[in-house]
Amino acid sequence: MDNNYLADLLYPNITTLPADMEARYPKRQLPEGAKVTRFAPSPTGFLHLGNLYGAFTDERLAHTSGGVFYLRIEDTDAKRTVPGGVELIIKTLAKFGLEFDEGAVIDGDKGAYGPYRQSERAEIYQTYAKQLIREGKAYPCFCTEEEVEAIREKQEALKLTPGYYGEFAVWRDAPIEKIEAKLKEGAPFVLRFRSEGSVENHFKFKDEIKGDINVTENDIDHVILKSDGIPTYHFAHAVDDHLMGTTHVVRDESWLSTLPFHIQLFKALGFKLPKYCHTAQVMKLDNGNKRKISKRKDPEFAATFYHEQGYPAAVTREYLITLLNSNFEEWRLANPTAPLDDFKFTTKKMAVSGSLFDMDKLNDISKNVISRMTADEVYDGVLAWTKDFDPNFAEKLAADPGKAKAVFAIGRGGKKPRKDIARWGEVKAYMSFFYDEYFTVEGSFGDFVADDVRAALNGFLETFDIADDSGVWFDKIKAVANKTGFASDMKAYKADPAAFKGSVADISSFIRLAVTGRVNSPDLYSVMQILGADTVIARVKAAIETL
Residues near ligand GLU (CB under 6 A): 40-42, 74, 237, 251
> Please, which residue, 84 or 401, has the CB nearer to ligand GLU?
84
CB of 28 to ligand GLU, least distance (A): 19
CA–CA dist 68, 66 (Å, integer): 7
Q: Residue 217 has what DSSP assignment?
A: P
The answer to whether the beta carbons of residues 69 and 58 sit under 8 Å apart is yes
Q: For ligand GLU, which is the closer residue by CB, 56 or 445?
A: 56
Compute φ and ψ for 486, nearest 5 degrees. Answer: -100, 155
Quote the least distance from Cβ 190 to ligand GLU, whole Å.
20
Q: CA 357 to CA 282: how far, in whole Å?
A: 6
Comparing CB distances to ligand GLU, the nearer of 194 and 226 is 226
Q: Is the Cβ–Cβ distance between 282 and 355 less than 8 Å? A: yes
Q: How far is CA 173 from CA 6, 150, 176, 178, in A?
A: 13, 20, 9, 10
CB of 235 to ligand GLU, least distance (A): 12
58 near 48, Cβ under 8 Å? Answer: no
Shortest Cβ distance from residue 57 to ligand GLU (Å)? 11
- Which C-beta is closer to ligand GLU: that of 43 or that of 140? 43
Q: How far is the CB of 130 from ligand GLU (least distance, A)?
A: 24
Enclosing H/E stretch for 82: none
Please identify, using beta-carbon distances, which residue of 279 and 309 lies nearer to ligand GLU. 279
Label each residue of 143-177 as H, E or C.
Answer: CCHHHHHHHHHHHHHCCCCCCCCHHHCCCCCCCHH
In the complex, minimum distance from the CB of residue 392 to ligand GLU, in angstroms, rounded to a whole number: 39
Name which of 42 and 432 has its Cβ closer to ligand GLU: 42
The distance of closest approach from Cβ of residue 396 to ligand GLU in the complex, given in angstroms and rounded to an integer, is 42
Residue 499 DSSP class: G
- Cβ proximity to ligand GLU: between 249 and 321 the closer is 249
Shortest distance, CB of residue 251 to ligand GLU, whole angstroms? 4
* Alpha-carbon torsion angle 48, 49, 53, 55, nearest 10: 30
CB of 114 to ligand GLU, least distance (A): 17
Pick 53 or 473: Cβ nearer ligand GLU: 53
CA distance 221 to 172: 8
N- to C-terminal Cα separation, the chain: 100
Q: Identify which of residues 191 and 277 has a Cβ nearer to ligand GLU in the complex.
A: 277
| Cα separation, 406 vs 402, whole angstroms | 6
Q: What radius of gyration do the chain's Cα atoms show?
A: 33
User: Residue 466 CB: number of other CB atoms within 10 A?
Assistant: 13
Beta bridge partners of 39: 71
Give whole-number Cα distances, 186 to 2, 179, 227, 435, in Å.
21, 11, 12, 74
Q: What is the 3-state secondary structure (H, E, C) of 373-433?
A: CCHHHHHHHHHHHHHHHCHHHHHHHHHCHHHHHHHHHCCCCCCCCCCCCCCHHHHHHHHHH
Task: Kindly state the smallest distance separating residue 363's Cβ from ligand GLU, in Å.
Answer: 29
Q: CB of residue 220 vs ligand GLU: minimum separation in angstroms?
A: 19
Three-class SS state of 255: helix
**In the complex with ligand GLU, which residue's Cβ is closer, 42 or 347?**
42
* Residue closer to ligand GLU (CB basis): 222 or 251: 251
Q: Is 357 helix (H, G, I), strand (E, B) or coil?
A: strand
- 3 state DSSP class of 193: strand
Q: Are strands 355-357 and 190-193 parallel, antiparallel or unpaired?
A: unpaired
